[in-house]
Amino acid sequence: MAVREILKMGNPLLYQRSEEITEFDAPELRALIKDMFDTMAENEGAGLAAPQIGVMQRLVIFSVESNPRYPDAETVPRTILINPEIEALDDEREAGWEGCLSIPGMRGVVSRPSHIRYSGYNEHGEKFSREVSGFHARVVQHECDHLDGVLYPMRIQDIRQFGYETALFPDEV
């Protein structure tokens, strides 16, 4: 088990574009994915992108079972997604609260496409694609944003809907 340090907002690496992965089934990739799952679990996150631990590669993971950070959230299957592509399936958008392990203790409202198709590769280099909506769609878009150096506060339209969890949701904490 190797829990890695998560870079925090302000670290320049979080604003850079990550590189495509070209070698699948490599021991280094397996070790990286394991560290990412360990790190995500330790921090009770819904997802994690490789650049958040300083690895500038296009790899994200996510998984939502019953998560104390998102008590009412829908579940999202445990997924390893490499070199992802995302396409909005229609014009519908949805505003929702987001948090990020690189911005601990804060939440903000972000508007994103509601229905998307995402595709990419698993750790063996096998291509897959899914059509999803709701929280699943939000998690994927949030994580993939990290690969392009985008943090969710950069997408907040009304900055008053960005703040500390303890102030926004005093009854939950």
Judged by CB under 5 A, does residue 50 bind Ni ion? no
Q: Does 81 bind Ni ion (CB under 5 A)?
A: no
What are the tokens at 2?
Answer: 């190797």
| Annotated catalytic residue within 92, 126, 143, 172 | 143
Told to judge if 143 belongs to the known catalytic residues of this protein, a careful annotator would answer yes
Nearer to Ni ion, 53 or 100 (CB): 100
Give yes or no for residue 139 binding Ni ion (CB under 5 A).
no
The reply to whether 100 sits near Ni ion by the rule CB under 5 A is: yes
Cβ 100 to Ni ion shortest distance, Å: 3
Strand pairing report for 47-49 and 93-98: unpaired
| Residue 155 C-beta: closest distance to Ni ion, Å | 11
The half-sphere exposure of 98 on its side-chain side, counting CA atoms within 13 A, is 29
Q: Note whether 110 binds Ni ion by CB under 5 A.
A: no
Cβ neighbours of residue 157 closer than 8 Å, sequence gap 6 or more: 109, 111
Nearer to Ni ion by Cβ, of 21 and 101: the residue is 101
Count residues contacting Ni ion (CB under 5 A)?
1
Residue number, 29 or 48, with CB nearest to Ni ion: 48
- Is 144 a binding residue for Ni ion by CB under 5 A? The answer is no
The span from the CA of 52 to the CA of 37, in Å, is: 12
Contact indicator for 40, 61 with CB cutoff of 8 Å = yes
Rounded to whole angstroms, the Cα distance separating 40 from 48 reads 6
128: helix, strand or coil:
strand
Q: Which residues bind Ni ion (CB under 5 A)?
A: 100
Active site residues: 143
